[in-house]
Amino acid sequence: MHILIAGPDNARPFLEKLAAAIPKGGADVACRYDLDRPSDYDKWADTDILVAFARPCDRRDMDLAPRLGAIILPSLGFDGVDIDAATARGIAVANGHVIENFETVAEAAFLFMLMSLYDIHEAQARLRLGAIRTGPPAARMLKGKTIGIIGFGNIARALVGRLEGWGARTLVSSRSPIAHPGGGVIRCDLDTLLANSDIVLPLVPLTGETQGLFTKKRLLSMKRGALFINLSRGAVVDEAALCDPEVIGHLGGIALDVFEVEPLPKDSPLRHHPKAILTGHEIAHTQENLTALFDMALKNILSAVAGDAMPTLLNPASGQVSG
């Protein structure tokens, strides 16, 4: 049995640790960090299991790997993997569906909200420059604010739970039910949410419907002075629109952990945005989250090697049942 572990070079420590944890003799393991796609691998036709971190795998790749039986993603997202094509070919796909991921992103969203409201970026800059604030404070309380969340998946529900007790109101725009044990969540359409929210957070997967969801027009339809926070997928917002002078003047600030192109290009106008907090798709990379993702990836690999059901199977119709 041959396993290909593929990912970017910055994931090398995580992926090599994962490779080392696979018992010797159970499978032949290769780690590659120079592949744009798995079919570039010279032994791809002989690969039984693909472990892909931030690497795509579509029907073209699958057709060139007749022995491929499982694709394992040591992360939550699976945007680059064609699940339907895998299912049609009997290829099982599993991801890093761990509770620590949802909780970490929810905590990071909360962090971004408070940092933006309290203008931490500017306060730090003044201190480092030895300057003193001369005007009225820009900081605002979370209490009394309206938080607008687009989507109501695991991360959104975890965030709503953390908002309870802070005196904030929560609006949600979602196609799915929004029943929440603590109550206090109001469902509305997107336009109503944008017009009434002090903080807007898209917490949605990247689909044909959500790609480019936040255009210049939508950003300008938000309340004047509102904050835009994105920890979902970079392509849900038009980055050029975020840097438009009219939008910059209209919004109170932005906080982004994800971008259309990652890593964020050095010449991106976002780097010079006067009201931005930016992190490089790492704000949710806590020790606890990475440990849980590692453990789940290893469980999925060992299950696939043994021919057992993988714990976080995404496509039962492939012929596997979830463990």
What's the sign of the alpha-carbon dihedral 192, 195, 196, 200? positive
- Domains delineated in the chain: 2-95+287-316 (3.40.50.720), 99-278 (3.40.50.720)
Q: Is 233 a catalytic residue?
A: yes
So what's the pLDDT on residue 161?
Answer: 93
- In this predicted structure, what is the pLDDT of residue 321? 57
Look at residue 182 in the predicted model and tell me its pLDDT: 64
Residue 262 annotated to the active site = yes
Q: Whole-prediction pTM value?
A: 0.90
Rounded to whole angstroms, the Cα distance separating 40 from 52 reads 13
The list of the chain residues with pLDDT below 50 reads none
Q: Which two tokens stand for residue 154?
A: 């695991």
Bridge partners of residue 293, in order along the sequence: none
- Tell me what percent of the chain is helix, strand and coil, each rounded to the nearest 5: 35, 15, 45
Q: Which of 55, 97, 218, 233 is catalytic?
A: 233
| pLDDT score of 26 | 75
For the question of residue 281 being annotated catalytic, the response is yes
Nearest to 104 by CA among 313, 277, 253, 281: 281
Tell me the Ramachandran region of residue 260: left when phi exceeds 0, alpha when psi lies from -120 to 50, beta otherwise: alpha
pLDDT at 299: 98
What's the rounded Cα separation, in Å, for the pair 188 and 150?
10
Q: What is the pLDDT of residues 210-235, one digit of tens each?
A: 999 999 999 999 999 999 999 999 99
Of the residues 32, 89, 281, 285, only one is catalytic, namely: 281
